[in-house]
């Protein structure tokens, strides 16, 4: 019997239209929830801290209910969830170092985002807990960072390969420590945090408008998903009315964003197997999507187009034609590209069987997006925790269980088809009317939750507003938090030369994770 039924009882309709009810839990209940996570009866949606305590967002997949548990922290310590449920470990390490808390019993208490270069510790703890050294205003290029003890590895004929933070390609920075036997990877340990910009601190005290800009700059490839999740959270906290047409325009943008990313990545994955032709063909389609977005919304990536209260601008008279042409172009091109992928034995030789993610691990980590769906996890917030207008659209969620690079490519190809269908449906059914409404004023502190299916998976944003309508705390959880650890698992037993393929087929966000 699940002990958490009382806490994890919020239906999508409830948290998507109104403020979150605060559920304060005891230490005993906190521990019981940890056990429910460990036993697999609950999925962890996120874990974070604020100045009063630690919080967990939880999902019960069977009943499609969520819950937020808040534990008031005394003596700056809370019982570790990561001790029994590994997916919580990195979130816990980040929460602990940002707020100066200790996770009692945690097996891994190494700092995570804090590389010892900030010039201060516990930056979000406030006056009570922050211990500022001489707070620098400039980055310290010559600062020597504290040693970071990678996990020890023992065995015969092992050597280590250290890669990053600066990588060979035009990608984001992170460090990968491979332990290799011959060509075979026996362990990968990632070290992240290089792009940590202090987004949480920038959010604290910011206006809602500023917060929306920051959210849209958290992970550039998902700017629409982030802006939408942030808007959802603020609108729910204020129980704000949003014009119906705005929801449809947001979904239009979100599907265009998904289309652009999937097209780009399918090409890039093939390019990492030295099959450049797919990259060339797919990058043409991606560019055409971005140009259509630019034409319709005034920005290639549609940055700052979703705002709390609605959207920043409506489509003009020609936009429907532009988008219909785009759909036709992609629909015409796609079958040949799919056939090219599926008919090139030398390419499939690299993708089939490579980087296999065990469905049990995908389930345990609550892996979102194509990473989870290629390994049997049947979850999509658009369908399972529905939000307008997806509750009015026909959507099929593709799923496979083979879990390799090839499966992730196929999930993306099928999702391209779904996005094309959704865009057609949106263009045909979108209601007329206003696209933006003023937000009601906040007269007391309130909290709201946003949960949006970005191309990479579910983006969660929790916003707490103070009585003046400013942001008291904003926590953003990128889907990558639960995917990065799985990348370490899938590379095991593969050759090191296949790492780029595995990595690109996950395409985790560094910036979205590092904040």
Taking residues 134 to 173 in sequence order and writing x for each that binds another protein by CB under 8 A, - otherwise, the string is --x-xxxxxxxx-------------------xx-xxxxxx
Choose one: 25-33, 113-121, 400-408, 438-446; the region binding another protein (CB under 8 A).
113-121
Long-range contact set of residues 110-113: C-beta below 8 Å, sequence gap at least 24: 110/148, 110/149, 111/146, 111/148, 112/192, 112/193, 113/192, 113/193, 113/196, 113/514, 113/515
Give yes or no for residue 494 binding another protein (CB under 8 A).
Answer: no
C-alpha distances in angstroms, 274 versus 52, 284, 348?
Answer: 51, 18, 12
Distance in angstroms (rounded) separating the CA atoms of residues 80 and 63:
26
Give yes or no for residue 46 binding another protein (CB under 8 A).
Answer: no
Taking residues 182 to 201 in sequence order and writing x for each that binds another protein by CB under 8 A, - otherwise, the string is -----------xxxxx----
Cβ closest to another protein, residue 108 vs residue 294: 294
For residue 403, give every residue at least 6 positions away whose Cβ sits within 8 Å of its Cβ, in sequence order, or none.
356, 357, 358, 359, 362, 374, 375, 376, 490
Q: Residue from 18, 111, 119, 129 that binds another protein (CB under 8 A)?
A: 119
Q: Residue from 101, 229, 290, 435 that binds another protein (CB under 8 A)?
A: 290
Cβ closest to another protein, residue 387 vs residue 499: 499
Q: Shortest distance, CB of residue 196 to another protein, whole angstroms? A: 6
Are the beta carbons of 457 and 226 closer than 8 angstroms? no
For the purposes of burial, counting CB atoms within 10 Å of the CB of 202, is it exposed (0-12), middle (13-18) or buried (19 or more)? middle
Are the beta carbons of 269 and 342 closer than 8 angstroms? no
DSSP-derived 3-state class of residue 188:
strand
Helical spans, DSSP H, in 173-275: 199-203, 208-215, 223-238, 244-272
Cβ closest to another protein, residue 282 vs residue 465: 282
Of 120, 82, 131, 85, nearest in space to 103 by CA:
82
Binders of another protein among residues 319 to 358 (CB under 8 A) are 336, 340, 343-344
For residue 98, give every residue at least 6 positions away whose Cβ sits within 8 Å of its Cβ, in sequence order, or none.
49, 113, 114, 122, 123, 124, 125, 200
Give yes or no for residue 219 binding another protein (CB under 8 A).
Answer: yes
Q: Residue from 18, 79, 205, 220 that binds another protein (CB under 8 A)?
A: 220
Q: Shortest distance, CB of residue 166 to another protein, whole angstroms? A: 5
Question: Is the omega angle on the peptide bond into residue 389 within 30 degrees of 0, that is, cis?
Answer: yes
Cβ closest to another protein, residue 142 vs residue 438: 142
Question: Which single residue is written with the structure tokens 């892996």?
Answer: 367
Cβ closest to another protein, residue 38 vs residue 194: 194
Cβ closest to another protein, residue 344 vs residue 421: 344
Give yes or no for residue 115 binding another protein (CB under 8 A).
Answer: yes
Q: Residue from 228, 365, 390, 510 that binds another protein (CB under 8 A)?
A: 510
Choose one: 68-76, 147-155, 274-282, 460-468; the region binding another protein (CB under 8 A).
274-282
Q: Residue from 301, 312, 435, 451 that binds another protein (CB under 8 A)?
A: 301
Kindly state the helix (H) or strand (E) to which residue 68 belongs, with its residue range: strand 65-72
Alpha-carbon Rg of the chain, whole angstroms? 22
Cα dihedral 164, 498, 279, 377, rounded to 10, equals: -100
Cβ closest to another protein, residue 94 vs residue 393: 94
Cβ closest to another protein, residue 286 vs residue 408: 286
Q: Shortest distance, CB of residue 237 to another protein, whole angstroms? A: 24
Q: Shortest distance, CB of residue 27 to another protein, whole angstroms? A: 34
Cβ closest to another protein, residue 223 vs residue 406: 223
Cβ closest to another protein, residue 161 vs residue 166: 166
Q: Shortest distance, CB of residue 164 to another protein, whole angstroms? A: 8
Three-class DSSP labels, 76-132: CEEECCCCCCHHHHHHHHHHHHHHCCEEECCCCCCCCCCCCCCCEECCCCHHHHCEE
C-alpha distances in angstroms, 255 versus 267, 306, 412, 420?
Answer: 18, 13, 13, 8
Please give the DSSP secondary-structure letter assigned to residue 274.
T
Taking residues 436 to 475 in sequence order and writing x for each that binds another protein by CB under 8 A, - otherwise, the string is ----------------------------------------
Q: Shortest distance, CB of residue 459 to another protein, whole angstroms? A: 14
Cβ closest to another protein, residue 61 vs residue 283: 283
Binders of another protein among residues 235 to 264 (CB under 8 A) are 264
Distance in angstroms (rounded) separating the CA atoms of residues 219 and 514:
10
Cβ closest to another protein, residue 317 vs residue 343: 343
Distance in angstroms (rounded) separating the CA atoms of residues 83 and 38:
9
For another protein, how many residues bind (rule: CB under 8 A)?
53
Q: Shortest distance, CB of residue 61 to another protein, whole angstroms? A: 30
Cβ closest to another protein, residue 265 vs residue 447: 265
Choose one: 41-49, 132-140, 181-189, 477-485; the region binding another protein (CB under 8 A).
132-140
Q: Assign residue 109 a region (left: φ > 0; alpha: ψ between -120 and 50; beta: otherwise).
A: alpha
Of 239, 292, 273, nearest in space to 439 by CA:
239
Binding site for another protein (CB under 8 A): 113, 115, 117-119, 136, 138-145, 165-166, 168-173, 193-197, 217-221, 223, 264, 277, 280-281, 283-284, 286-287, 290, 300-301, 303, 336, 340, 343-344, 509-511, 514
């Amino acid at each position: 019997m699940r002990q958490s039924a009382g806490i994890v009882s919020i239906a999508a309709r409830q948290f998507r239209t109104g403020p979150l009810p605060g559920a304060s839990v005891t230490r005993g209940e906190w521990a019981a929830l940890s056990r429910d996570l460990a036993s697999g009866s609950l999925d962890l949606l996120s874990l974070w801290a604020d100045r009063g305590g630690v919080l967990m967002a939880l999902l019960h997949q069977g009943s499609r209910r969520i819950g937020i548990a808040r534990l008031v922290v005394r003596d700056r310590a809370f019982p570790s969830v990561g001790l029994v449920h590994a997916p919580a470990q990195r979130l816990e390490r980040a929460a602990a170092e940002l707020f100066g808390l200790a996770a009692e019993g945690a097996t891994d208490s190494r700092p995570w985002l804090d590389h010892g270069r900030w010039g201060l510790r516990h930056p979000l703890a406030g006056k009570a807990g922050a211990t500022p050294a001489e707070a620098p205003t400039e980055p310290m290029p010559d600062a020597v960072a504290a040693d970071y003890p990678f996990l020890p590895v023992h065995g015969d004929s092992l050597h280590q390969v250290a890669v990053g933070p600066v990588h060979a390609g035009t990608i984001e920075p992170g460090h990968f420590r491979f332990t290799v036997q011959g060509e075979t990877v026996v362990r990968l340990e990632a070290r992240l945090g290089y792009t940590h910009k202090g987004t949480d601190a920038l959010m604290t005290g910011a206006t809602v408008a500023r917060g929306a800009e920051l959210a849209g700059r958290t992970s550039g490839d998902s700017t629409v998903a982030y802006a939408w999740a942030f808007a959802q959270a603020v609108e729910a906290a204020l129980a704000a009315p949003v014009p119906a047409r705005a929801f449809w325009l947001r979904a239009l943008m979100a599907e265009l964003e998904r289309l652009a990313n999937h097209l780009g990545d399918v090409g890039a994955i093939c390019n990492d197997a030295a099959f450049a032709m797919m990259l060339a063909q797919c990058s043409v389609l991606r560019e055409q999507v971005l140009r259509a977005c630019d034409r319709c919304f005034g920005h290639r990536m549609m940055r700052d187009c979703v705002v709390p209260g609605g959207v920043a601008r409506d489509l003009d008279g020609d936009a429907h034609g532009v988008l219909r042409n785009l759909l036709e172009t992609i629909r015409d091109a796609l079958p040949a590209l799919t056939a090219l992928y599926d008919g090139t034995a030398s390419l499939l030789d690299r993708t089939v069987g490579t980087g296999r993610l065990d469905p049990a691990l995908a389930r345990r980590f609550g892996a979102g997006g194509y990473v989870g769906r290629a390994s049997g996890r049947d979850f999509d917030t658009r369908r399972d925790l529905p939000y307008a207008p997806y509750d009015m659209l026909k959507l099929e969620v593709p799923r496979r269980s083979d879990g390799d690079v090839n499966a992730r490519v196929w999930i993306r190809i099928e999702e391209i088809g779904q996005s094309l269908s959704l865009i057609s449906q949106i263009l045909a059914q979108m209601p007329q009317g206003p696209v933006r409404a003023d937000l009601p004023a906040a007269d007391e502190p309130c909290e709201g939750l946003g949960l949006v299916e970005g191309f990479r998976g579910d983006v969660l944003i929790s916003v707490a507003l103070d009585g003046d309508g400013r942001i008291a705390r904003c926590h953003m959880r990128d889907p990558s938090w639960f995917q990065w650890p799985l990348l370490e698992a899938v590379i095991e037993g593969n050759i090191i030369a296949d790492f780029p393929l595995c990595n690109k087929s996950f395409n985790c966000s560094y910036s979205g994770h590092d904040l």
